[in-house]
Amino acid sequence: MEQLMRNFFLFLSKNKTLTKLAKKYGLRFGAARFVAGVDIDHAARKIKEINEDGFVVTVDHLGEFVDNEKEAIESADECVHAIEIIAEKGLNSELSLKMTSMGLDISRELVMTNLRKILDAGQKHNVIVTIDMEDYERCETTLEIFKELRNEYDNVGTVLQAYLYRTEEDIQELDDYNPYLRLVKGAYKESPEVAFPEKKDVDENYKKLIEMNLLNGNYTAIATHDDAIIDYTKQLEKEHNIPRDQFEFQMLFGIRIELQSKLLKEGYKMRVYVPYGNDWYGYNMRRLAERPANVMFVLKGILKK
């Protein structure tokens, strides 16, 4: 049943009509459970509170699968604006983005121009920019672009997904780039030809990748809400004397807040991924797919409106 629900929400996450409707009607339908606000000013207030509690942040202007140039340029400009607000308000925040919102599906030239514009602003204001990893179809191009940009910028990072068979090789290949990598389990619906279908295999691979990347000496963001993976990382830290400034934990805004606070109290660097904007639909559907029980929060959100 849970698997059926998961597939259903992942199917919904790619529905373009519902995405457009959700954008039109703004932050309704319980979206606020996982989203910090409609614009960067709302998000900045939230980030300030989160910073004051001792957490660091990465902020994400929601948006994906953009299919026209004007919208892609607007999304890039919004990212530059967000970086300027981070600097102006002295927030402790990085920026995360999705390349399909920057025009990845339109042209390579467009996405590169947009990314360089954002990375230039990040470099000017000392803000790290991480490129989220989307579906498998776009993984190879995402990594090619990341490598090209990594040769030009020291403030760019990216994400690797533990459910993909290829990731182990990617970690080794990226070692030459001294990368800032965020490791996640993976949130899209992928075929068993490219991704481990069983959760237990994803979890095992995730542990292996964390160990590889840490022992390669690269900065590692362990982005998970899974106690077992977090405990495994702590065990690696002890066994291999990994310095605490070589890794951090990351979790999504609104998810497992007590665990976030616990890790902070234990002295770990804890980063919260804070999304904002109107284009919340795909993001929220993936959160429901991860935990169908979240439907109750969303339903409560609808009833409150």
Residues contributing to the site for ligand FDA (CB under 6 A): 132-133, 159, 161, 182, 184-188, 223-226, 250-252, 255-256, 273, 287, 290-291, 294
Residues in contact with 189: Cβ distance below 8 Å, sequence separation at least 6, in sequence order: 7, 10, 11
Query: What does the block give as tokens for 11?
Result: 């199917």
Q: Does 182 qualify as catalytic in the annotation?
A: yes
Please state, in angstroms and rounded to a whole number, the distance separating the CA atoms of residues 39 and 191.
35
Phi, then psi, of 259 in degrees rounded to 5: -65, -40
Please state, in angstroms and rounded to a whole number, the distance separating the CA atoms of residues 82 and 36.
14
Please state, in angstroms and rounded to a whole number, the distance separating the CA atoms of residues 74 and 103.
10
Catalytic residue among 132, 135, 203, 279: 132
In angstroms, give the least distance from the CB of 159 to ligand FDA.
4
Is the CB of 153 or the CB of 283 nearer to ligand FDA? 283
For the chain, the residue count is: 305
Output b/e per residue, 99-128; b: 16+ Cβ within 10 A. bbbbbbbbeeebbbebbebbbebbbebebb
In angstroms, give the least distance from the CB of 241 to ligand FDA.
25
Is the CB of 66 or the CB of 241 nearer to ligand FDA? 66
Query: What does the block give as tokens for 94?
Result: 């990085």
In angstroms, give the least distance from the CB of 132 to ligand FDA.
3
Please state, in angstroms and rounded to a whole number, the distance separating the CA atoms of residues 222 and 249.
5
In angstroms, give the least distance from the CB of 267 to ligand FDA.
20
Is the CB of 78 or the CB of 203 nearer to ligand FDA? 203
Q: Does 291 qualify as catalytic in the annotation?
A: no
E runs forming strands in 35-155:
56-61, 93-97, 129-131
In angstroms, give the least distance from the CB of 214 to ligand FDA.
17
Please state, in angstroms and rounded to a whole number, the distance separating the CA atoms of residues 211 and 206.
9
Is the CB of 220 or the CB of 224 nearer to ligand FDA? 224
Is the CB of 130 or the CB of 218 nearer to ligand FDA? 130
Please state, in angstroms and rounded to a whole number, the distance separating the CA atoms of residues 177 and 245.
19
In angstroms, give the least distance from the CB of 139 to ligand FDA.
10
Catalytic residue among 105, 138, 170, 182: 182
Q: 3-state DSSP: the chain helix, strand, coil percent, rounded to 5? A: 55, 15, 30
Cite the active site residues: 132, 182
